[in-house]
Each structure stands twice: as C-alpha cells, then as structure tokens.
Amino acid sequence: MTGLKITKKKKVAWIEDYLDTLFPHPKCELNYQKDYELLIAVMLSAQTTDKSVNLVTKVLFERYQTLEELKNAPLEDIMTIVHPLGTYHRKAVYLLEIARILVEKYDGKVPCDRNALEQMPGVGRKVANVVLSEWFHFPNIAVDTHVDRVSKRLGLAKENDSVLEVEKKLQKTFLPENWSKRHLQLVLFGRYHCKSQKPLCKECELKEFCKAYQSKN
Ligand code: SF4
C-alpha cells in the first residue's frame, strides 16, 4: 500500500480529528482525590500499569488517610502494600520521603513548581509534567512509554529522539491549549490501540500515513 502524500499540517489535523473521535473527553486513569495522592500514584506508576497502581493506592490511602500518617508509616508496611508494583523497596522509600518532604517543607501541599517537584525522589520530568497538567491545569505534554512509541510510529518524532526531544516536537506540533488533552489522548491511544505488541493497525484510521505501518506493508 502506498502512503498518502499529504502535508504535515494535514497529517496533524487528521491525527487530531481521529484522537478527538476516539477520546473526546480523555481522562487520567489513575485514581486520586488529593494532590499528594496524585503525585504518589504517578511516581508509583513507573514500569507498571495504572490498573495495578489503583489497586495498591486504594489500600494505601485507606490505611493512611493523611500525609502525616503516611510520613510516619513503617517502611515494612509500605513495602508490603506496594510490593505488587515491582521495585517495591525503592518505591516505598521514595513514597515515605515524598510524604516527609511535603509535610516538612511544603506545609502538606504539593508545590506548583517544576524544580521543587523534580527534586523529590522518584519524580522526574514526566511525573512533574503529569502533576502540573492534571492537578494545576498547566498545559503540558508528559512523554511516557505510550506517547513516545506512538509519536515515533506516526513520524511525529524520530526513532532515536530522546524523551525530551519528543516532548519538544509534540509541543511544536500541537497548540499549547491542547497539550494536556493530546497527552492524555496519546496515552490512551497507545494503551488501547497502538499497543506495544500487536497494535490494532487494521482498524486504525491513521495507517495511510503511519510511518511504522507503511514501512511494513
Ligand atoms: S497504523 Fe498501527 S502502528 Fe500506525 S498508528 Fe495505527 S495502530 Fe499505530
């Protein structure tokens, strides 16, 4: 099959239309009620699924209902709770340290500041982007494994681009007011359609100009 020869502008418009059709009201699939619950859930989500994180945080935040309680929780107990998520020792240590920093340094509030967020253990650019976008409603495109894969398959970024390069390219591709929505849509598209293994290319309306699909067909 020959790919459609269209301009980048048209291709982006097509992608945006398709994402809007598939996910008109995209939502973060991590469960949380408080700012620190979101921060901890996103930190815990490294190398695992949101579904697994939701099962763990349900137990965690029911047992420790305030940041103060969480800060004073025994490491052993936190390790047991987060065990299903993998790298549980490290995640438990990070979690307790984040709770301590929030209580002692930020009066129990998650700071609305990228540098402050990124100084916390287990919190890198992606986690900070998600928190700033999801809780504080700052336009952001957090690049996780799904966003990275989909962007490269579609040719919105190059195969060897770093996560930061992908983020910058997506910021140039989409309008700032849509960044947070596009981030969520690309996550969901990667999670349920353009999956890592066996992407659903047959039913995908982007295949006519998808770089990855065209290179294989
Ligand atoms: S055609 Fe396949 S690889 Fe390309 S975007 Fe669609 S699902 Fe992903």
Rounded CA gap, 15 and 36, in Å? 34
216 classed as catalytic: no
Class for the domain spanning 35-134 = mainly alpha
H or E element, residue 118: helix 114-118
The model carries a pTM of: 0.93
Rounded CA gap, 91 and 56, in Å? 12
Q: Is 174 left (phi over 0), alpha (psi -120 to 50) or beta?
A: beta
User: Is the Cα dihedral 134, 188, 60, 104 positive or negative?
Assistant: negative
105 classed as catalytic: no
Go through the chain and tell me how many residues it has.
217
Class for the domain spanning 8-27+141-216 = mainly alpha
Q: Whose C-alpha lies nearest to ligand 1, atom 2?
A: 201
Q: Do domains 8-27+141-216 and 35-134 have the same CATH topology?
A: no
Domain ranges in the chain are 8-27+141-216, 35-134
Catalytic residue among 11, 35, 91, 144: 144
Q: What is the pLDDT along the chain (217 residues), one digit of tens a residue?
A: 455 578 889 999 999 999 999 999 999 999 999 999 999 999 999 999 999 999 999 999 999 999 999 999 999 999 999 999 999 999 999 999 999 999 999 999 999 999 999 999 999 999 999 999 999 999 999 999 999 999 999 999 999 999 999 999 999 999 999 999 999 999 999 999 999 999 999 999 999 989 999 998 8
- Taking the centre of ligand 1 as the mean of its atom positions, its distance from the CA of residue 80, in whole angstroms, is 39
Catalytic residue among 126, 148, 181, 207: 126
Which residue's entry shows tokens 């981030």? Answer: 183
Q: Whose C-alpha lies nearest to ligand 1, atom 4?
A: 210
